[in-house]
Amino acid sequence: MLDNLKPQPADKILALMQSFRDDPRADKIDLGVGVYKDAEGRTPVMRAVRTAGKRLWETEQTKSYVGLLGDPAYGDALRDLILGDSVDPGQVSAAATPGGTGALRQGFELIRLAAPDAKIWLSDPTWPNHPSIIRYLGIEMGEYRYFDNATCTVDFEGMKEDLNAVAAGDVVVLHGCCHNPTGANLTLAQWGEVADILTDRGAIPFIDIAYQGFGDGLDADAAGTRLIASRMPQTLIAASCSKNFGIYRERTGLLMAITHDAKLKTVAQGTLAFLNRQNFSFPPDHGARLVTTILTDPDLRADWQAELEEVRAGMLRLRTQLADELRQRSNSDRFDFIAHHRGMFSRIGATPEQVEQMRKTNGIYMVGDSRMNIAGLNARTVPILAQAILDAGA
């Protein structure tokens, strides 16, 4: 049996992570995988997470099973963080999942179960694991235009034109905020136009929100998701706590299915539980419990928000510094988009050859499509990157 196996394609982000580790140069710069790093290059445990962890260690009395959907308090707390009061909580089914990827996987499986003929539409470009999982599940897939590589801004006219061609019952995946890989995001007015088009087409939105709090703040980053959830009859949402709580390895995610038809809620909730049972049974609990502890304790929550805000402000400072350096060194404003992008990533419009040159000559690692992780920089390395970008001819 095992002799039938063929080598699987490597995930380009994870392969880049390995090449960076293998590079012996001391001055190499990692702008690859989407993990937050402070100015010293560390990915710290957040203060509130450490406190919540200690508290759990002291008070947790059992490690017995929770439930197929996870701890309901976790689902409630994260639902409220993401959706605010945009929808009636009674309309939301939620299942804890192993990370945001687990939520996406379960969501795609739910789509395959409920609408086997539906096509799933992804932004061009998108996070490479979206098409990879959809292809693996054998679901039909399409792309809608999203990014203008020449200006490094959202190609909203192209996006609208393509969304206007999706069929009734198709699913459209949208990045809730901090678009990965581009960093270019929709305005709230544009979210409203997208909701109009999807309503008109009878399509179902599936929002992937993995960076809430990294762009313009916790509420601002959820505004598009809230608008969609409040206006569309049915919405799926995959959420991750990996980044905004810094608990990557704890695998803490949530899949939500929102329906304004109360009759559908029970069957949706049951299906989420069924799908969890088929794939891994009970979802991981430790990270979820850390998140619940933080979100339900006013002091811990305030401390978490303050630290998240420091992280966000730090990334914005790096964006401004990099755009300034590039403006001065290139004597042009063509890189100003870096200051306007939001979140952890910016796609800077360099060719794969230019990206390769920066890796070879300067030990700078960014994804081949020229996505860079802003958090991999610090005040000292920004000028080095700016010069490398220009030397590569980008």
Q: Which residues are catalytic?
A: 127, 208, 210, 243
Sign of CA dihedral 127, 154, 202, 81: positive
Minimum gap (Å) between residue 36 Cβ and ligand LMR: 11
Q: How many residues bind ligand LMR (CB under 6 A)?
A: 5
Nearer to ligand LMR, 127 or 337 (CB): 127
Rounded CA separation 284/96 (Å): 8
Residue type, 89: P
Nearer to ligand LMR, 191 or 214 (CB): 214
Q: Rule CB under 6 A: which of 2-61 touch ligand LMR?
A: 13, 33-34
Minimum gap (Å) between residue 131 Cβ and ligand LMR: 13
Q: CB of 354 within 8 A of CB of 369? A: no
Give whole-number Cα distances, 289 to 72, 114, 212, 278, in Å.
10, 31, 19, 23
Minimum gap (Å) between residue 329 Cβ and ligand LMR: 28
Q: Determine the residue with CB nearest ligand LMR.
A: 34
Minimum gap (Å) between residue 347 Cβ and ligand LMR: 12
Rounded to the nearest angstrom, the gap between the alpha carbon of residue 126 and the centroid of all alpha carbons in its chain is: 10
Nearer to ligand LMR, 119 or 179 (CB): 179
Q: Rule CB under 6 A: which of 118-137 touch ligand LMR?
A: 127
Nearer to ligand LMR, 274 or 280 (CB): 280
Among 106, 180, 370, 381, binds ligand LMR (CB under 6 A): 180
Burial 343-366 (b: 16+ CB within 10 A, else e): bbbbbbbbeeebbebbbeebbbbb
Cα(first)–Cα(last) distance of the chain, in Å? 48
Minimum gap (Å) between residue 373 Cβ and ligand LMR: 7
Q: Where does residue 343 fall: left (phi above 0), alpha (psi -120 to 50 degrees), or beta otherwise?
A: left
Nearer to ligand LMR, 91 or 240 (CB): 240
Q: Is 107 in the site for ligand LMR (CB under 6 A)?
A: no
Q: Where are the beta strands (DSSP E) in 111-243?
A: 120-124, 141-145, 147-148, 153-154, 171-175, 204-209, 234-240
Provide the binding-site residues for ligand LMR, judged by CB under 6 A. 13, 33-34, 127, 180
